[in-house]
Amino acid sequence: MSWGASYPVRVEGHLDDGHLSRWLWLVKWLLAVPHFIVLLFLWLGFVVVSVIAFFAILFTGRYPRALFDYNVGVLRWTWRVSYYAYGALGTDRYPPFSLRDIPDYPARLDIEYPEHLSRGLVLVKWWLLAIPHYIVVAFFLGGATVALNQDNQDPTTGGPGLIGVLVLFAAIVLIVTGRYPKGVFDLVLGLNRWVLRVAAYAGLMTDRYPPLRLDMGGDEPGSLVVDTRQAPGQPPPPRPPAGPGRIIGAVLVSLVGLLGFGLLVAGFVLLAVDRTQRDSDDWLTSGSQSLSTSSAALVSEDIQLRFDAPDAVFGDVQVRATQRGDGELFLGIAERSDISSYLAAFGHDVVTEVGGRDATYRRVRGDVAAPAPGDLDLWAQSQSGTGEQVLTWTPSEGDWVLVVMNADGAPGVDVSAEVAAELPVLPWVAAGLMALGLVVLGGSAVGVYLLLRRS
């Protein structure tokens, strides 16, 4: 195959007009899930390869051919999926799982391999020189508009891209008329061609600056000459389309892979929390939270435990609080059944939510002044005194309530508090989630391999 003189990034798309389903586009987001998952990893590789190529070009002036072919394949795969899905909706033919060029697929992309690349341009073209194109591409793809919230403080990006709006319009016309508007198709192809040219330029795959023009239509500007070498009367066999069973199988296998990836990420997050949120005594801490009330007590919502927690699994829990002001502070934990009548006798605030700058409370009113809590034999565990008070408690079965008061029962409680836990089981849970995620991902990879082998 040889291409006529044109920009080295060549993008084509042939509309399957008359063969497009009126309704299939409504579920293509689901059908394309396997490709989205594969492309996630392929684009991670694209980034890594581009970094390696950056240094190779900087020192040698050449883009390693194997790396170049990989990145071309990623862009080619991306263009086929975008053309099938919501980047164009130009075909109902399911995209092949391949980095190679598929001559009979209606969406094609190719990039001419550069024998030499400028060592100087590689330092600036992917960020400084490409800025004008980045602005244009942001408008095409979406996210180019900037709005401010009501306080005029936090900028937010939003707004659909021009490509998305045009494709949605074409889909609506397709539903009504059964035809894809040719003028809209030509414009959508021109916009996608611009985006892919910029992607290749920013990916260091050419030194030729992307033209600031809109080359519309499915055919790339310049001639395309196809070199056919089959013997007369022996055309290449048509590539069979993916059947519904294979597509459904690929969707299910990819959803399993997505589950495995989620388990793996959850394990990493738990492991990161375990490694970064523990204090010098190896307690996992929640961070300090300011709590205050004008009533006599701060009371937690019910802590419901339906079994005795093994020490080797959960360990002990600590409540640490410091009074901001004079006087002694009291911390106590008791079962709800033992303390309900005591709390009902005086006004207090139930802490319903913590986190952020302020906590939220639910006021419970009462008419009787609070007795000094330390004088009562209600508490499973309690601690009082001046300065920081630390209440250590071993969780057990029951409905529990944590109470923070002034030691003399006087109204007006203002503290800085945090909760800490030993949780020796956490790293084991993290490791188990990661191991399970790897197993599920491995099974999904085997399923994808079998599907591809069968195809």
Q: Are the beta carbons of 89 and 103 closer than 8 angstroms?
A: no
The average pLDDT across 294-314 equals 84
Average pLDDT score over residue span 179-204: 94
- pLDDT of 424-438, one tens digit each? 888 999 999 999 988
User: How far, rounded to the nearest angstrom, does the alpha carbon of residue 47 sit from its chain's CA centroid?
Assistant: 17
Residue 226 pLDDT greater than 80, yes or no: no
d(CA 65, CA 186): 33
% of the chain residues with pLDDT over 70: 85
Sign of the Cα torsion 363, 367, 372, 375 reads negative
pLDDT (mean) for 244-271: 75
Give me 17's structure tokens.
Answer: 């007009």
124/68 Cα distance (integer angstroms): 19
For position 148, what pLDDT does the model report? Answer: 37
Q: Give 373 or 287, the one with higher predicted confidence.
A: 373
> What is d(CA 4, CA 104) in angstroms, rounded to the nearest whole number?
19
pLDDT at 4 over 50: no
- What is the average per-residue pLDDT within 438-447? 80
Residue 224: pLDDT above 70? no
Please tell me the predicted confidence (pLDDT) of residue 146: 42
> What is the average pLDDT score of the chain?
85
**Percentage, residues of the chain above pLDDT 90:** 51
pLDDT value of residue 107 = 96
Q: Is 185:15 a contact under the CB 8 Å cutoff?
A: yes
Determine the average pLDDT of the residues in 56-61: 91
- Alpha carbon distance 333, 320 (integer Å): 13
Q: 246: which residues sit within 8 A by CB, 6+ positions away?
A: 451, 454, 455
Least confident span in 169-178, 206-215, 223-232, 392-401: 223-232
pLDDT band at residue 83 using 50, 70 and 90 as cut-offs: very high
- Would the pLDDT of 299 be above 80? yes
Q: How confident is the model at residue 222 (pLDDT cuts 50, 70, 90)?
A: low
Task: Give phi and psi for 323, each to the nearest 5.
Answer: -70, 130
pLDDT of residue 137: 93
Residue 225 has pLDDT above 70, yes or no: no
CA atoms within 13 A on the CB side of 246: 16
Helices (H) and strands (E) in the chain — how many of each? Answer: 9, 18
pLDDT value for 154: 44
Task: Grade residue 247 by pLDDT with cuts at 50, 70 and 90.
Answer: low
pLDDT tens digits along 276-293: 888 888 899 888 899 999
Residue 65 confidence (pLDDT): 92
Residue 151 has a pLDDT of: 41
Q: What is the mean pLDDT of residues 60-86?
A: 94
Residue pLDDT, tens place only, 228-243: 444 555 554 554 555 5
Gyration radius of the chain's alpha carbons: 32
Q: Rounded distance, CA 250 to CA 258, Å?
A: 12
Instruction: State pLDDT tens for residues 374-400.
Output: 888 889 999 999 999 999 999 889 999
